[in-house]
């Protein structure tokens, strides 16, 4: 999904693209026409795996409005998509529509890789989720269209809650702490490897949610320049709260990230974890290291934050853009219009995915697995929209800072100050 940051081959501060390291595509999902134009659409594999009927429906609707235009949907892997895009943008055979993670767009936009779009032509453009819409805007213009979203929430073992005498999902932060204390008392005393709250040290999406809840930021822009802000008082307060939760309720390797979270949770020694809704299912799937015996034993909750509001989640998701080198910009924009309109968004909701706008968040079943995620999405955030944020992530600055804090190698203040210094060195790169 679009929650992952990808490598890219952008160099020398301008759009100089290289073909080195680029992977192959997976092509299907075409809508045939007889002669006329051809529209090439790059979508990530999620569309083929999770909502293929939406792709087929959108192509069919597009074909009725544009007879004779062939739509060639080419499915891309997240790990190679941007490298391939960088390569084709160097030539004249650019795709007409590309899917981008919302944290990937800024560098492409500031380097003029995408064509501007008129937001008035797209459904619910005035109500797009800010964490998606903001990633599409630059200097007062719009360069992409929000597609779908995903928000992290709390996931817990219902059987463990019952055994510990916890009768309902926590709705406030004090209730959450009380629940974690009871889980720790009930199961931690019997199993020294039990984590009431699974919170690995390098899991930066979780840690930054507490920074945001405290009013802090990862970076801020001043006079056209970006600067690290993790050592500000509010950011330090959020990191300190995160560290206390880790100290009190997490048992495990503090130098690891959350990449194998479903597999770890599937081992049965976790009461609560913070993640995407799909991870609850993955924890019961042997293909991802989970335990099928745990099916039916997970439920989700809108994670309460120390501020008294819901913990603000990183709002991962995708956007759709038209490369500036597309030969069919108008047709591309119209395909995006159909693929992201309210009818298409309803199909995404049916596939347990969050829509791109606040209006249709209300259509997500409150009692369903994605209900808490829909609640949390209204507080969602995205990484700083700085030209060099990709370099920040590729340098692993945030995980390295968190590991130093989690392992006691540095104080929160000292580790945050060092992270800010490293952020400042790369965040303004184009």
Which pLDDT tens digits describe the chain residue by residue (430 residues)? 443 333 333 222 333 232 223 333 445 555 554 435 899 999 999 999 999 999 999 999 999 999 999 999 999 999 999 999 999 999 888 999 999 999 899 999 999 999 999 999 999 999 999 999 999 999 999 999 999 999 999 999 999 999 999 999 999 999 999 999 999 999 999 999 999 999 999 999 999 999 999 999 999 999 999 999 999 999 999 999 999 999 999 999 999 999 999 999 999 999 999 999 899 999 999 999 999 999 999 999 999 999 999 999 999 899 999 999 999 999 999 999 999 999 999 999 999 999 999 999 999 999 888 999 999 998 999 999 999 998 999 999 999 999 999 999 999 999 999 999 999 999 999 8
In this predicted structure, what is the pLDDT of residue 343?
98
Helix axes 52-65, 342-350, angle to 10 degrees: 160
Write down the pLDDT at residue 30. 59
Say what the pLDDT of residue 212 is.
98
> 26-150+316-368 and 153-313+386-426: same fold?
yes
Residue 150: predicted pLDDT:
93
Write down the pTM of the prediction.
0.86
pLDDT attached to residue 28: 54
The DSSP-derived string for 84-115 is: HHHHHTTSS---SEEEEETTTHHHHHHTT-B-
The pLDDT value recorded for residue 29 is 57
Task: Give residue 37's pLDDT.
Answer: 86
CATH of domain 26-150+316-368: 3.40.190.10
Q: Which CATH number is 153-313+386-426's, of 3.40.50.300, 3.40.50.1820, 3.40.605.10, 3.40.190.10?
A: 3.40.190.10
Instruction: Judge whether 42 and 138 are in contact, CB under 8 Å.
Output: no
Residues 238 and 381 sit within 8 Å (Cβ to Cβ) = no
Residue 14: the pLDDT is 30
- CA count, 13 A, side-chain hemisphere, 242: 32
Domain spans in the chain, listed from the N-terminal domain onward: 26-150+316-368, 153-313+386-426
145 vs 135: CA distance, rounded Å: 9
Give the other-Cβ count within 10 Å of 416's Cβ: 25
- Residues 361 and 359: their CA atoms lie apart, in Å, by 6
């Amino acid at each position: 999904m679009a929650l992952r940051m990808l490598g890219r081959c952008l160099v020398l501060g301008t759009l100089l693209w290289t073909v080195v390291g680029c992977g192959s595509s997976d092509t299907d999902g075409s809508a045939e026409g007889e002669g006329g134009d051809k529209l090439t659409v790059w979508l990530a594999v999620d569309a083929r795996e999770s909502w293929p009927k939406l792709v087929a429906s959108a192509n069919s609707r597009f074909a009725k409005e544009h007879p004779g235009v062939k739509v060639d949907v080419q499915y891309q892997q997240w790990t190679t998509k941007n490298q391939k895009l960088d390569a084709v943008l160097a030539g004249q055979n650019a795709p007409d529509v590309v899917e981008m993670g919302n944290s990937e767009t800024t560098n492409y936009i500031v380097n003029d890789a995408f064509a501007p779009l008129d937001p008035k032509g797209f459904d619910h453009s005035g109500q797009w989720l800010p964490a998606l819409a903001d990633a599409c805007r630059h200097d007062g213009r719009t360069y992409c269209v929000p597609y779908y979203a995903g928000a992290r929430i709390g996931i817990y073992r219902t059987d463990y809650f019952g055994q510990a005498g916890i009768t309902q999902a926590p709705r406030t932060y004090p209730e959450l702490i009380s629940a974690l204390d009871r889980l720790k008392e009930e199961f931690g005393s019997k199993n020294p490897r039990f984590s009431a709250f699974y919170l690995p040290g390098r899991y930066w999406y979780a840690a930054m949610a507490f920074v945001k809840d405290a009013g802090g930021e990862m970076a801020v822009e001043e006079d056209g320049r970006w600067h690290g802000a993790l050592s500000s008082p509010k950011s330090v307060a959020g990191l300190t709260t995160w560290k206390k939760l880790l100290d009190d309720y997490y048992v495990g390797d503090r130098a690891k990230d959350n990449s194998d979270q479903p597999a770890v949770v599937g081992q049965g020694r976790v009461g609560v974890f913070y993640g995407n809704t799909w991870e609850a299912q993955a924890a019961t799937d042997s293909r991802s290291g989970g335990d099928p015996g745990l099916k039916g034993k997970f439920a989700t909750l809108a994670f309460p934050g120390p501020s008294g509001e819901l913990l603000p989640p990183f709002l991962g998701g995708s956007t759709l853009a038209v490369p500036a080198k597309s030969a069919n910009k108008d047709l591309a924009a119209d395909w995006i219009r159909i693929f992201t309109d309210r009818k298409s968004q309803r199909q995404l909701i049916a596939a347990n995915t969050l829509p791109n706008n606040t209006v249709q968040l209300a259509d997500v079943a409150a009692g369903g697995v994605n209900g808490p995620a829909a609640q949390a999405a209204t507080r969602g955030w995205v990484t700083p929209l700085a030209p060099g944020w990709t370099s920040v992530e590729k340098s692993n600055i945030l995980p390295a800072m968190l590991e130093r804090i989690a392992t006691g190698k540095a104080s929160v203040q000292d580790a945050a100050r060092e992270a800010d210094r490293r952020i400042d060195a790369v965040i303004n790169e184009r």
